[in-house]
Structures are given as C-alpha cells and as structure tokens.
Structure 1
Amino acid sequence: MDVSDAVDSLFAGVVPERIDELKAFWGEQADRVRLLAVDRFLLQMAFGSVQISEVALRQIWLTGYAAWRAVTAYNVPLALASMTMSSADRAAWRQIDTDVAAREDEFAELFKAIHGIATAAKAGSIDAFPWPAGVPHPEHGLKITDPGLKGTFDLVCMAGAYVFAHEVRHYIYEAQQNPPEQLLEEETECDRWALALMLDQAGDYAVGNGWPPELVRAKRILGVMIAQLAILALTPRTSWEQSDGHPPVRDRIRSVLDAATDPVPMWFWTTVASMLLGFASQSGVSVETIPVTSDMRQLAYTLCNRLQPA
C-alpha cells in the first residue's frame, strides 16, 4: 500500500520549516513509502522506496506511550533523590510509595506490550493483540483530546518523522549513487542527517511563530529519544554493541543527548533520565541504587553508559 501522502503530512506537521527541502530531496511521486503486510518489525529503504510494516508502526507508537509512563513513574522520585543527593533506589521507592509501585507496574506492562504485539502478529493476527488499557489506538491519534495523551501523541509523531527521515537519507544516497564505502558510516550519517533535519532550523521556526525556541527543540529531542528507545527495546541485548553495520545502541542515544545543548527547560533532563531509567531496567540492565546528584544531565549520561550487552 502506498502511504507516501501520509508520511508527507507527518513531515509537514513535525518539521514544516523543512518541507520544501524534503520535496526537493525526495520528490512527491507515489510509492516513496510502502506499507507492507509482514508479521514483523520492518523499516528499511529498498527498491527505491521506504518500506514499513504495521507491526513497526504500532511498536513505535507503544514505545512512545511506554516512555511517557516511565516519566510518570520516575520523574518525582528522581527529582526528590536529586534534592537529597541520594540514590535512585527503585526497590525503596516501591516500598515507600504505593503510587510509584503502581505506576512502575503500568510502565512494565506497556513495555512488554512492545514485544507482545509482534508475537500476536506472528501468531496470525495483529488485531488479536489485547490493546493496553489507557493507551489510545493509533487510528484515533488526531482525535485525542486528553492533554497528557495528546502530548505523547505529538512526541510519537516526532519519533516517526525522525525514523522516516533516517530512511530518506538512505534514499538520497541510493538516488545519487554515492553511499559511503562502509555501511556503519552510512548508518551514522543517516542518524546525523535526520537529527539535523529535526533541529537545525527549529529555533528560527519557533521564533517566527512566537514560541520559546528551547521548548520547541526540547520537544523534538524527546521525540527523537523515543525513536532511539524503540531501537533499544527491539534490539536483543546481545546486539547492543556495533553489529551488522549499525553503531552501538548507547552511541546512538548519546548523540541525541549531545544535541540537547543549553538552554533546555528545567524539566528536560529529569524527563530524559526517567525514560532511560525505565527502559534500562526493563531491558535487564543493572540500574539499582545509582547515585543521583543535582545534575540530572549527568544522570542521563550515566544511564546511557550503562546500556551495555549482558
């Protein structure tokens, strides 16, 4: 199925200031993006078009809502730990505060759903997957009215724009017949190009519309972080190091952290650290009792560095 127009609309909503450039790079012809009926995660540039599966779209969607549930579970206890210079002790938090325990359990169930929906697809029907409670279905995206769910929908759209932009860069390499000699170099450049597309003109766009530039940039960076968290969640931990021409997972996440230059909103680093703490813990990474200082930015980097294979 040709879904090129839908992806064009996605770009127009997320990076409207770059849409003319994208048209010049990528054109406006049909079949630039194909939705394929396969029972697994698929996102690639092949045969002159970007190919994606419904499973992949829904897994990215679920990753976004899981990431925000991680924030609701951990942002307050992390902020309190920072104030008291104590450790991020999840076991202690669960014992002290039943709300933390309930929110962490909700996050854990949604994290499992990211893989569960693929299992359902392989078993015969993606529609048979029991949709997680409290998470809107993708087809209702533009109709969401709840502010929290709508905010997460915006971040998921930004994550989607980033992953498609990555594949557009692959398309440009193929169209111009000038890819780097090494696949790893190409993958790294596609990440860099997609991030630049999201951020390089975000400040001017924000000012032109009367919005604080740091807020627009921060929101887009969180969207890109969700895209990288999807990679983290869907890549077997044994493959988190450089493999098959892809850079290490932690390096891809670190490049997003590096893009968050000052000024950033005061809530930004606590939000990022909450996401990383949640996804690391559910992926089996040892993140118990990590010291928390007043510098939440440093905690985010510390958690990123812990993303090592078992």
Structure 2
Amino acid sequence: MATTASDKTIILNLLRGAVPERADEISGLWRKYGHSVEIAKDAKGVTMNANSKRIKFNIKTIEIYWLLGFSAWRAIEVYSPAVVVATMTGASLDDALNMDEERGQFEFDYKQRIASVHSLIAAEQPADISWPADIPKPIDIRDDLEDVQHKAAFDLVGLALAFSILHEFQHVMFCADKNAPSLRPEEEIACDTWARDFMMSGLADYAEKHGHSFTEVQWKRAAGITLAAVIIHAITPGHVRWGDQEYPPIAERLSAMIRGYNLPNPSSFWMFTACMLIALLRQENRPLDIVAKSNREMVEELLIRLC
C-alpha cells in the first residue's frame, strides 16, 4: 500500500468511496471508535479479523480479493449462455450446460484461474504462485486499466472489499460497546447484515443528487456484495463450511447477503449472481437439474441448492 497516507486513512477513503452518500457518517464512526488498522505480515491462509481496538489484515488477503474478483468476473462468459438457454426454453440448467459445445475450454480456463486463487491462499507470499497471464496485477488507480471489463471488475472488487471491512468494523463496534450477540455465529450474520444494509440504504437520494440511475447504482452495489459472498465462500476452509462454534453454515451467510433485493427481473444483477452461484456449485460437482423461467428465479433455486 502507499506510504504517503496512513493505512487507516487509506481504508477509510476506500469506504468513503464505496459508499459516498454515507461518507460523513463513516468518518464520524471512525473517529468515535478510535480503532487502528493493522497490516500484518503475509502468511499462509487469509488474515482478516477485528477486535475492539483494531481491524487487521495483510496485503496477501487484498491480492486474494483481487485475483478471485477478476477470476469470478470471467464466470459470466462461461455460464451465461446456458442460463439464457435454460430460462428461454424451459430446459434444465444441467441440460443447457451440456448443450453448450463451447463451454468446455472456457470452463477449464476458469477453473485454472480459481486454482490459482487456492494456491495463493495456501502460499506464504503472493510471489510464490504463478499469476494468471490474462489477469492484471493489483493496482490502486482504476484509470490505469485500459480494458473496460477490467475496470468493471476493479469496481466490484472495491465494493466487495468495502463490504468485508464494514463487516469487520461491526465486530469492532460490538466489542467496544459490549453488545455483541451471545453466540459467535449469530454475530457473524449480524455483521453481514449490518454491512449489507449500510451499503444498500440511502441509494435513491444518492442516485438522484448525482444524476445516476437508481437501478444501476443498486445493481452494482448488490453485485459487489455478491462478489464478497463468493470470496467469503472461497476463503472459508472446507471443514467449516457446514458451520462450527465460530461461524454459521456458509450457505446461511451467502443467503443473507444475496437474497431479498428488490431489483427488476431484467436487471443484470440476476444474471451476474446466477453465474457466480453456478460456478460455486460446479466446483463442488453438484447436480443442477434446475428449471427456472427467469434469471431471478434461477438465483433463488441456486441458493436453495447451496444449502
């Protein structure tokens, strides 16, 4: 990260940029709780946690978000043709996937990128893995990316990271105020819910004041939270995905983050989210004998399959 500003200021600016309509509120909470931001040394696994005095993560974790975000974006080109065929013809999703003769190589390439993510999670240092040639290395300035698709992925990664930091900030507030839910899994869900609500409320006023389409702002924020859900799934060790004393089942967390958006059926959010969820289920070799009449219905059915 840059050395011209403190780590705490950099993270605060990320949050203010991701949720600009609540920038003053974020700054006020930042001052009230007086916590620090601690950059830990890179190590195996993922570092992202909080207590009453600090939020802690490492640079490798930021690179995991970047690599998985840019990789997950490619799931659209892999799975969207099958979603279109399934919703238009009434074919099951499995049948539609099997009809797509071009999917094989695209899906193989996609899974190779996801394998790179898991290699990065297991590595001591980011330099220990071979970075995919078609994914840019992490940078701070969006306009330094020339590809439009890369810029879109950059935006979603920023929103996903903002969601995760807001999640950790709720842990800070719970610890400092001594009012956390009595059970740790309940606290995790409460942090997810608070971060989602913080990012999604107040959008109408923001869109109107800045001349943006409310629906476009809403779907982009929601897509960033979906990406955060996909990343949380990827960084959660397999042996705790069914839940334990610390964490709720991962399917419960994803449902809390993704369900309930009042977006119109034609919104790009539903196609994006359907492709993200299909990618997760395909990695686990789950059957997808789903019949859905719309992308929104497809998302609902895929969330049921995650459980």
TM over 0.5: yes
C-alpha contact (below 8 Å) 1:73/1:103 kept by paired residues? yes
CA distance in 2, matches of 1:176, 1:26: 14
Q: Return the alpha-carbon distance in structure 2 between the equivalents of residues 297 and 135 of structure 1.
A: 29
2:63 to 52, 58, 61: 58
Taking the aligned partners of 1:46 and 1:165, their CA distance within structure 2 comes to: 13
Q: Which residue of 1 aligns with 2:113?
A: 110
Change (3 A) 1:299 1:96: closer
Q: Deviation digits for residues 109-136 of structure 1, max 9, x if unmatched?
A: 1111111112332xxx321321112111
The answer to whether the Cα contact below 8 Å between 1:273 and 1:299 also exists between their aligned partners in 2 is yes
- Which one-letter code corresponds to 1:226 in the other structure? L
Write the distance in 1 (CA, Å) between the matches of 2:213 and 2:99.
Answer: 40
SS of equivalent to 2:272: helix
Calculate the TM-score normalised by the size of structure 1.
Answer: 0.89
Is the counterpart of residue 85 in structure 1 residue 84 in structure 2? Answer: no
Counterparts of 1:1-310 in structure 2, within 5 Å, are: 3-27=7-31, 32-39=36-43, 40-46=45-51, 48-89=53-94, 93=97, 96-98=100-102, 100-121=103-124, 125-139=125-139, 141-142=141-142, 143-263=144-264, 265-282=266-283, 284-288=284-288, 290-308=289-307
Q: How many residues align?
A: 301
Structure 2 CA distance for aligned equivalents of residues 74 and 297 of structure 1: 15
Asked if 1 retains the 8 angstrom alpha-carbon contact of 2:64 and 2:117, the reply is: yes
Secondary structure of 2:182's counterpart equals coil
CA contact (8 A) 2:193 2:257 kept: no
- Per the normalisation by structure 2, the TM-score is 0.90
Q: Give the letter for the 2:10 counterpart.
A: A
How many angstroms does 1:305 deviate by? Answer: 2.0
1:33 match: secondary structure: strand
Displacement of 1:89: 2.5
Question: What's the RMSD between the two structures over aligned residues?
Answer: 2.2
User: Given that residues 18 and 158 in structure 2 are in contact (C-alpha distance below 8 angstroms), is that contact kept between their aligned partners in structure 1?
Assistant: yes
CA distance change for structure 1 residues 115 and 106 in 2, over 3 Å: closer, same or farther?
same
Percent of aligned pairs sharing the same letter? 28
1:96 Cα deviation after fit: 4.4
Question: Do 1:41 and 1:118's aligned partners in 2 also have CA atoms closer than 8 Å?
Answer: yes
Q: CA deviation at 1:278?
A: 0.7
**Matched residue type, 2:167:** H
Cα gap change, 1:95 to 1:263, in 2 (>3 Å): closer
Q: Structure 2: how far apart are the matches of 1:222 and 1:65? A: 13
Amino acid at match of 2:274: A
Q: Name whichever of 137-146 and 227-236 sits farther off.
A: 137-146
Aligned-pair distance for 1:147?
0.6
